[in-house]
């Protein structure tokens, strides 16, 4: 059966932008004119579907994040430790969301813990959140420590670094960064993960 539908203009625009991103990587310049030309669509038409250039980028990043990582891979021993740990951290970040959702998340956090009156109640709530995060991270790290990927003694300190990195990434996601910082985010995540795990677990290259 033929369920091929002619791609809508909106989809063609998104596909064109995705192609450009895939080709040029981080340096891709997704200008109105370039994307419109690539999609074979007028500037006005692009603007009709995406009122601002940022709307285009937001939708694009939303799809990219949807496309990756639905499962928790810490127990998937078929993968290298670093990939499993990075996957877990990626899921934590997935909960933060991207674009407007990430901004909302940070705004809520700041409203709740920073600009709110600093009562003991507030402080306790934050400590609880912090502790949960720390426990979660330490759990993952202990799993990997049992496999020798790192020393158990390093678990708390490493968990703290990773939690700081995740906080930093969540912060950066909330900031009006450029289009898709996914690639750089991945890179930062892996740099942090490799800093925590034993140097060079796999011997192959």
Partner DNA sequence: ACCTGAACACCGTTCAAGT
> How many whole angstroms separate alpha carbon 39 and alpha carbon 145?
49
Residues 77/90, Cβ–Cβ less than 8 Å: no
Extract the tokens encoding 31.
Answer: 């200008």
Residues 7-46, interacting with DNA (CB under 7 A): 8-10, 29-34, 41-45
Picked from a second copy, DNA, none, the partner binding residue 164 (CB below 5 to 8 A depending on kind) is: a second copy
Extract the tokens encoding 148.
Answer: 């020798």
State the virtual CA torsion across 98, 103, 108, 111 in degrees, nearest 10.
Answer: 160
Closer residue to a second copy (CB): 43 or 114:
114
Segment contacting a second copy (CB under 8 A): 14-22, 29-37, 125-133, 145-153? 125-133
> How many whole angstroms separate alpha carbon 86 and alpha carbon 73?
9
Residues 78-117, interacting with a second copy (CB under 8 A): 103, 106-107, 109-110, 113-115
Picked from a second copy, DNA, none, the partner binding residue 37 (CB below 5 to 8 A depending on kind) is: none
State the virtual CA torsion across 171, 179, 94, 108 in degrees, nearest 10.
Answer: 40
* Of 19, 54, 91, 133, the one binding DNA by CB under 7 A: 54
Q: What is the CA radius of gyration of the chain?
A: 20
Nearest distance in Å: CB 78, a second copy: 25
Picked from DNA, a second copy, none, the partner binding residue 202 (CB below 5 to 8 A depending on kind) is: none
> How many whole angstroms separate alpha carbon 113 and alpha carbon 101?
18
Picked from DNA, a second copy, none, the partner binding residue 47 (CB below 5 to 8 A depending on kind) is: DNA
> How many whole angstroms separate alpha carbon 198 and alpha carbon 205?
16
- Interface residues with a second copy (CB under 8 A) are 54, 103, 106-107, 109-110, 113-115, 118, 122-123, 126-127, 130, 157-158, 160-161, 163-172, 174-178, 184, 187-188, 191-192, 194-196, 199-200, 203, 205
């Amino acid at each position: 059966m033929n369920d091929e539908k002619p791609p809508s203009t909106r989809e063609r625009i998104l596909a064109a932008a995705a192609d450009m991103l895939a080709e040029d990587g981080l340096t891709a310049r997704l200008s109105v004119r370039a994307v419109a030309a690539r999609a074979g669509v007028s500037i006005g038409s692009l603007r009709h579907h995406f009122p601002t250039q940022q709307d285009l980028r937001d939708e694009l990043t939303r799809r990219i994040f949807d496309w990756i990582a639905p499962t928790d891979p810490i127990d998937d021993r078929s993968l290298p430790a670093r990939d499993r740990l990075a996957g877990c951290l990626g899921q934590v970040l997935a909960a933060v969301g991207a674009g407007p959702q990430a901004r909302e998340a940070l705004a809520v956090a700041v409203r709740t813990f920073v600009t709110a009156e600093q009562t003991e109640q507030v402080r306790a709530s934050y400590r609880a959140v912090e502790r949960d995060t720390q426990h979660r991270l330490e759990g993952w790290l202990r799993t990997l420590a049992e496999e020798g990927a790192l020393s158990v003694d390093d678990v708390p300190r490493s968990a703290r670094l990773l939690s700081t990195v995740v906080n930093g990434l969540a912060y950066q996601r909330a900031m009006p960064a450029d289009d898709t910082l996914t690639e750089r985010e991945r890179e930062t995540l892996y740099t942090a993960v490799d800093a925590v795990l034993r140097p060079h677990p796999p011997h192959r290259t």
